[in-house]
Chains A and B, each alone.
Chain A
Amino acid sequence: MTLAQKYPAEVKQILAKYPPEHRRSAVMPLLYLAQRNQGFITKEAMQDIAQLLDMSLTDIGSLVGFYTLFHDKQEGKYRMQVCTDLPCALRGADQFMEELCTNLGIKVGETTADGLITLEAVTCLAACDKAPMFQLQSPDSIEYHEDMTVDRTLELIQILKRAGREVA
């Protein structure tokens, strides 16, 4: 099923935001929709969007590669993206990240064995006064967690783990 077949109302709403002769503007919102649909952007979804907007697959691929919030493969269910830029690092973000890695038994960029969390270091998230902080990216949301400690982060991970089990 194509994106337009599965989400006709959303696709229509997205296209209505832009002048009809500039349909290509809808590409980023459509990529978000595809990511929400399957957790990451599949090649089929890219083909789908390419056809819908009269773009080439290469064009679409170059956008997915350029923008860091688009993902073309499945990793952890949640991406825990810790800001380690200068202002956060001046408030302990590097130590926070190091202790988190030790506690989770993974390195930056890796995913926990249960597939729940992929830990990533990212650039500024506009929350410099509330470091250490991270955003939790899942297919359908981005949530900020600010003024964090390692203990509170580990608690949050336990909650996410339990929520996952209940759903399963």
Chain B
Amino acid sequence: MPHLLLRHREIPGIDRLEVYREHGGFEAFEKALTTMKPGEVTEIVKNSGLRGRGGAGFPTGMKWSFIDQKIWPHYVVANADESEPGTFKDREIMEGNPFQFLEGVALAAYAVGAEAAYIYLRGEFWSIASSLDQRIAEMRQAGYLGSDLLGTPYGLHVYTHLGAGAYICGEETAMLESIEGKRGQPRIRPPFPAVHGLYGKPTVVNNVETLTNVPLIVANGADWYKTLGTPDSAGVKVFSLSGRVRKPGNYELPFGSTFRELIYEHGGGVQDSRRVRAIMPAGASSSMILADDKVLDTPMDYASVRTLGADLGSASLIIIDDTVSLDWVIQKTIHFFTHESCGKCTPCREGTYWMKHLIDRIRATGAQNEDVELLLNVAKQMQNKCLCPLGEFSTMAVVTGIERFPQDFKRVAGAAA
């Protein structure tokens, strides 16, 4: 099947406006503006079963329908902060197929009645931001952005906004704070952005990949979209595959493809023909899945992955083989989260700090078995107490790593004692 999101892999030059239009580009936007009411666009996205691709998997159309119709203006924010270790799909979409993403932004804005949309890119993507700026200017010239679009009273302006190196800004309320010119620290929810978002106004925040699906759904209909994927997880997903595989990269597959298909058919199998020992399906925020034949044959959709005691999240699979010890893996993830904790809430700020000291001591000589128990204890005490998902995520690999791979921790503590 040809790619639906990574279309640049079959269509060279689709990053140019005229080529994108030759391949049906902006037909969905024209159809929506001239023949559909905003609510109908939301309805079709709701019926398609599209769920947020940033990690949470929340139904997109439902998110749009929550937007408060009594408070104006409304805003759309595209989350292009892609910073989860193991995730590199939005970057490829924005570089390769940028107009489909931008058309998705425009459709989302029309659906929720927003006349301004911001694309928040991580600061490292500054060259992508400048090429998006150029493309936004081309869209304005072509009459897809600006005032009174396509002979309707609707108008839209799209702007890019660069972050400056902070993983936490991928959390939607931290992102809004950052656009407002503040430190990227999450807000207490509720109120949710659909009621109190950017500048205190109703705001929809969607991931790049989510938005890139929208033009296809509006053009081809909800029923067509539902024929792809599984009943619980409609459509296709870009899986970012990394770690110890022969061919790491992005693979666009229907939801419900198995781990085995991704790792062996597409990823070329494990380096040096080793065995898959652990899979982290949602980047550094994942629980550790102990890989066996049953796991490898499990379909990758939201519900099935949950039966394995993990979440599919952003579908950023980090593959760990049998040469790697899990204590080293969680040292890496703990260091990451300690560095990225924003410092606002105490359980996360202090918890990640102490987890870091403990794992460093466990990995150093002279470790005691009690240190592993203490680390597990600290991680479990953090759970359900943090202000935002970052603190919760920081404990996932720690708890599941120690509980599902105890031998990797006993050996270290024992050997060093």
**A residues neighboring B (CB under 8 Å):** 17, 19, 22, 24-29, 31-32, 53, 55, 62-63, 66-70, 85-87, 89-91, 123-130, 135, 141-144
30 contacting pairs across A/B (C-beta < 8 A): A17-B159, A22-B199, A28-B161, A28-B162, A28-B163, A31-B164, A32-B162, A32-B164, A55-B181, A63-B181, A66-B342, A70-B164, A85-B85, A85-B336, A86-B85, A86-B86, A90-B242, A124-B284, A126-B83, A126-B90, A126-B91, A126-B124, A128-B248, A129-B240, A129-B242, A129-B249, A129-B250, A141-B126, A141-B127, A142-B126
Within 8 A of A (CB), among B194-227: 199
Q: In the complex the two chains form, what is the Cα distance from A141 to B85 in whole Å?
A: 23
Which residues of chain A are within 8 angstroms of B85 by Cβ–Cβ distance?
85-87, 123-124, 128
Q: Are B324 and A126 in contact (CB under 8 A)?
A: no
Q: In the complex the two chains form, what is the Cα distance from A53 to B248 in whole Å?
A: 45
Question: In the complex, which of the residues A17, A31, A86 contacts B332, with contact meaning CB atoms closer than 8 Å?
Answer: A86
Q: Are A87 and B243 in contact (CB under 8 A)?
A: yes
Q: Are B180 and A123 in contact (CB under 8 A)?
A: no
Within the complex, the shortest CB–CB distance from B6 to chain A, in Å, comes to 13
Q: Are B332 and A89 in contact (CB under 8 A)?
A: yes
Let me know if B59 is at the binding interface, CB within 8 A: no
Q: In the complex the two chains form, what is the Cα distance from A87 to B339 in whole Å?
A: 16
Question: In the complex, which of the residues A17, A89, A124 contacts B161, with contact meaning CB atoms closer than 8 Å?
Answer: A17
How many of B's residues come within 8 Å of A, CB to CB? 52
Which residues of chain B are within 8 angstroms of A141 by Cβ–Cβ distance?
126-127
Q: Are A86 and B284 in contact (CB under 8 A)?
A: yes
Within the complex, the shortest CB–CB distance from B199 to chain A, in Å, comes to 6
Q: In the complex the two chains form, what is the Cα distance from A128 to B319 in whole Å?
A: 12
Q: Are A28 and B181 in contact (CB under 8 A)?
A: yes
Q: Are A68 and B320 in contact (CB under 8 A)?
A: no
Which residues of chain B are within 8 angstroms of A123 by Cβ–Cβ distance?
83, 85, 167, 336, 339-340
Q: In the complex the two chains form, what is the Cα distance from A128 to B324 in whole Å?
A: 17
Which of B178, B244, B249 lies at the interface centre, i.e. has the most chain A CB atoms within 10 A of its CB? B178
Q: In the complex the two chains form, what is the Cα distance from A24 to B177 in whole Å?
A: 11
Let me know if B318 is at the binding interface, CB within 8 A: yes
Question: In the complex, which of the residues A27, A126, A135 contacts B181, with contact meaning CB atoms closer than 8 Å?
Answer: A27
Within the complex, the shortest CB–CB distance from B80 to chain A, in Å, comes to 10
Let me know if B87 is at the binding interface, CB within 8 A: yes
Q: Are A124 and B165 in contact (CB under 8 A)?
A: no
Question: In the complex, which of the residues A86, A91, A128, A129 contacts B333, with contact meaning CB atoms closer than 8 Å?
Answer: A86
Q: Are B336 and A124 in contact (CB under 8 A)?
A: yes
Known interface pairs A68-B166, A90-B320. Does A129 touch B248 (Cβ–Cβ under 8 Å)?
A: yes
Which residues of chain B are within 8 angstroms of A124 by Cβ–Cβ distance?
83-87, 167, 284, 336
Known interface pairs A25-B181, A62-B183, A87-B242. Does A127 touch B88 (Cβ–Cβ under 8 Å)?
A: yes
Q: Are B248 and A68 in contact (CB under 8 A)?
A: no
Let me know if B113 is at the binding interface, CB within 8 A: no
Q: In the complex the two chains form, what is the Cα distance from A13 to B391 in whole Å?
A: 37
Let me know if B329 is at the binding interface, CB within 8 A: yes
Question: In the complex, which of the residues B82, B241, B284 contacts A126, with contact meaning CB atoms closer than 8 Å?
Answer: B82
Residue in chain B with minimal CB distance to A86? B332
Let me know if B55 is at the binding interface, CB within 8 A: no
Q: In the complex the two chains form, what is the Cα distance from A143 to B123 in whole Å?
A: 12
Let me know if B305 is at the binding interface, CB within 8 A: no
